[in-house]
A and B are shown apart, each in its own frame.
Chain A
């Protein structure tokens, strides 16, 4: 029989899984192959190229949407490594079994319905193809190719000398145990020639015996090691083949699952096929049948390694025609940047520092607080965690909440809303429309909180008298930020400012900034009755009082003013309203706005 895997085997990999693909290419590199074994990748969702490493060099492997295209690209590829999900494994394998070039499908998914697997087996028989799996970890042909994760980490490949062919063929049911057995074989013989895990399903695509015979027919293999499992009767087929002489090389075997005898009821172990039932499928009975047929069976798994050594020495090494395998030096693949960092072998300067949230762990955290602890609190709690290094108290958070509500919207006529509306009506997208509204926030609209806070803070710190301050500003001809309203006046006060004042009175012991701002208002309204403390001025003053009551140092407050944190409150609040206006316009499908001529004075 033509071997399934050789040094020249080319494979097509189904599903763009970077880790196993890299693992296979690393193995090629360890074995000093001149080119990688994966010639194409199938990704039903995209085509193009996949970036990966071959040794130290980055290479591109073509990605196709269908097997048909991949096969056309490399007609020599005859193995499909199928890493499809359980739900798409059946269809993708079926297509491969019907593709003329593909001889072998390695099926990794666990949990494929049994009838689907049986249909695949029927198709494989009909088309004279091989299936390895389902639920397999793959196979490894020492020095030639590894299929999927078989053989484990590069470190393990090297420790278990899986890069150079020995004289032992290994067939296991379990994928997890395959690596362990390769290590045992390496420690006790001249090494693994080929190893395959057939997978723990009730109906494996190719059976223990089929794989044992496949390896048996390879003249390089002098001895076979088999690890079976409770459940099913496949091990009896091996016993029969030994008895009939079909197998004439020594077989060392162990069937696991003797512990099942201790369970009162039928037991289902981790592998689907590993289910106790009648005596016939028990580990004890199968071990006995193999032993009676002439296989070497240890008393327990603990003596498996010892027995493998003994049989190898007696039946292989001592034979006159025995030639020990040539020792090969593995080529160590370059260290992965991530693992080198992880293991502390190299260091690198970071480009970004972040202090407020962390998404690396199991749970996202905002300033050290788990997201699930934040979700049942009011929104201001989240703002507090993400904006403030020194967290505000409950009053501070309540004030933020109040400000967001007060500043959320102020009707369609204000410039934020107006700009957003005209942009939305020009057919622009949501983000553009919202941003065009936000861009109007500045010294004349909404952006005055920060500047108001600045003078309020400076006057209090330097103990400046309100009347002097107003006089000085007047003489400089400067406007006082946070003072003045287009429409509202001392007789017709702004309801929002009243609410802010009420909040401060109710919740704060010290309100020096607010009091000062009101003194200033007292001065300015003497001149004109609409020069009142407006929303911007009121928010700035009360927020300063809140920072003070939260024991903020003066330098910290100055820093917050520098960073424009006071304006951020308006910015966030108003975004809610702007989004509302944009959605409103889109909902009504309002057409392009054109300003009427009669509303323009032409010079």
Chain B
């Protein structure tokens, strides 16, 4: 339910599909090929490109040049071998001062375009404007040359933004060659219109180049507003249903994948992230805002290393969904050998969620696995308020007592995150 990264291959396919609607001279057709490294041996022939191939991973991260992950060659065999070698080892990249490691699976193969100048274009949305960033000094060093980047604010309006005049004024000042500046201004305006048409929320083309009087897009990173998918389904048809893959470096345990699938098919919101499988504190928290605060508090009280997971279930999941969701999380919790595990069933004072109902699903899941709770001596701490909370708490309590599981229950009379301190200190 938010801005999500989209693979370069799909992003470019969309751009190439719709750009001609706003820029009739652009009629290239997208020549790139998507390669799934798991199906490498099924590829016998690659398309012929005039100047050879550019191969690079398509795993939702940029700065591939800087991370030595772009391969240029004219020999098909060498290109495929490079993909094979890159996909068979763990790859570590640097992004936002963090090191991310993971396996590269998806690659993109495109024609190599010889060029001199490299241009830069990025568009991002803000509350009141769309921000365009343009530079004639694009390429891997663009961030180091940020002073050469010109920003243009386009006041946002759904139906008519005065895009062309803004862009041609700015670019006209930057580029003296009339023909070149017209070509670029037309291109940038058209890209902006496609950006808006398809509900992109971020886009960066770095670089794009001019060869034989035609513009070519080399590297491309984009995010889309996935809440707009329902209304744009027809427009997205060229790529099928848009796939919003998780960011690179977040290789997921099966439990997380399962919950993502549940989340996608449910009207409720179900989130789960395993942080430290050997942590002491297992969270089963609800509410988009409250869940974050519970996890924060474990860390803010000085126990970062004890957070086992982050969880959020909200938006009124039904009893069956809640039970299944809990059981998936429990399966991870039961795997750890720690002797002092604690399960926090937490939440703020709900506005309209029926606590008795949601706790039925949680209690059923605990009941089903009560043997493991007993064997592993997992203690449960509950804190929740909202409609029917008294019955919900009572229900949890009697269920745990029935199976001799140690449980502490609190309603809104206790400060919300005090339950975290209790769990940590006892």
Contact = CB atoms under 8 A, between A and B. Distances in A.
A267 B301 CA distance: 21
A114 to B, nearest CB: 5
A177 B290 contact: yes
Question: Size class of A's contact patch?
Answer: 35 or more
B114 interface: no
Given A176-B351, A272-B2, A301-B300, A115 B289 contact: no
A272 B127 contact: no
Contacts of B371: none
A137 B315 CA distance: 12
A300 B349 contact: no
Given A270-B271, A270-B292, A362-B318, A305 B415 contact: yes
Contact of A176 (B1, B228, B271, B350): B350
B158 A119 contact: yes
B2 A268 contact: yes
Contact of A301 (B196, B201, B269, B417): B417
Given A19-B352, A118-B125, A153-B387, A263 B292 contact: no
Interface string A145-173: 00001111100100100000000000011
Contact of B289 (A112, A156, A173): A173
A279 B96 CA distance: 8
Interface string B155-176: 1111000000000000000000
A177 B291 CA distance: 10
Contacts of B310: 259, 263
Interface string A542-558: 00000000000000000
Interface stretch (B73-81, B244-252, B324-332): B244-252
Contacts of A266: 96, 247
Contacts of B417: 300-302
A258 B296 contact: yes
Given A183-B385, A272-B1, A300-B301, A111 B227 contact: yes
B96 A149 contact: no
Interface string B211-250: 0000000000000010110110000000000000011111
B119 to A, nearest CB: 24
A203 B127 contact: yes
A271 interface: yes
B288 A269 contact: yes
A278 interface: yes
A257 B290 contact: no
Contacts of B2: 202, 268, 272-273, 275
A149 B296 contact: no
Interface string B265-291: 000010101010000000000111111
Interface in B286-319: 286-293, 295-301, 304, 307, 310, 312, 314-315, 318-319
Interface string A123-157: 00100000000000100000000000111110010
B297 A202 contact: no
Interface in B49-103: 96-98, 100
A302 B296 CA distance: 10
Given A119-B157, A258-B296, A258-B299, A113 B231 contact: yes
A262 B304 contact: yes
A20 B269 CA distance: 21
A173, A271, A275 pick with most chain B CB within 10 angstroms: A271
A35 interface: no
B124 to A, nearest CB: 11
A202 B228 CA distance: 14
B196 to A, nearest CB: 7
Given A152-B386, A152-B387, A362-B320, A301 B293 contact: yes
Contact of A118 (B127, B230, B421): B127
Contacts of B155: 122
Contact of B228 (A114, A137, A259): A114
B416 interface: yes
A300 B314 contact: no
Contacts of A87: 230-231
B289 A113 contact: no
B295 A259 contact: yes
Given A113-B199, A113-B228, A159-B412, A149 B351 contact: yes
B227 A256 contact: no
Contact of A270 (B196, B230, B314, B421): B314
B420 interface: yes
B231 to A, nearest CB: 7
A111 B350 contact: no
Given A177-B293, A257-B292, A272-B227, A184 B415 contact: yes
A394 interface: no
Given A152-B349, A300-B300, A362-B320, A111 B1 contact: yes
A310 B199 CA distance: 46
B128 interface: yes
A522 to B, nearest CB: 61
A110 interface: yes
Contact of B158 (A118, A176, A207): A118
Interface in B103-146: 125, 127-128
Contacts of B4: 268
A122 B292 contact: no
A152 B351 contact: yes
A394 B402 CA distance: 40
A125 B201 CA distance: 22
Contacts of B231: 87, 113
A300 B199 contact: no
Contact of A256 (B3, B97, B156, B292): B292
A264 interface: yes
B418 A302 contact: yes
A39 to B, nearest CB: 23
Nearest to A254: B293
A271 B386 contact: no
Interface in A283-326: 283, 299-302, 305
A126 B242 CA distance: 34
B11 interface: no
A290 to B, nearest CB: 16
Nearest to B276: A262
A115 B123 CA distance: 14
Among B269, B296, B304, B320, the one with the most A-chain Cβ atoms within 10 Å of its Cβ is: B296
B392 interface: no
A110 B2 CA distance: 10
B387 to A, nearest CB: 5
Nearest to B417: A302
Contact of A259 (B201, B271, B299): B299
A362 B158 contact: no
B348 A179 contact: yes
Contacts of B349: 152, 156, 179-180, 183
Nearest to A154: B387
Contact of A262 (B196, B299, B350): B299
Nearest to B391: A343
B421 A179 contact: no
Contacts of A178: 351
Contacts of A261: 299
A176 B289 contact: yes
Given A266-B247, A302-B418, A174 B299 contact: no
A179 B297 contact: no
B348 A256 contact: no
A302 B294 CA distance: 9
A426 B314 CA distance: 57
A122 B157 contact: yes
Given A264-B98, A283-B296, 8 more contacts: A113-B199, A113-B231, A200-B289, A264-B250, A265-B247, A266-B247, A275-B3, A300-B301
20 contacts: A114-B225, A116-B158, A118-B158, A119-B157, A153-B387, A172-B289, A176-B289, A176-B290, A177-B289, A179-B385, A229-B289, A258-B300, A259-B292, A262-B304, A264-B249, A265-B246, A267-B273, A274-B288, A299-B300, A305-B415
In order of increasing CB-CB distance, the 8 nearest A-B pairs are A174-B289, A270-B288, A300-B300, A180-B348, A176-B287, A272-B2, A113-B228, A119-B158
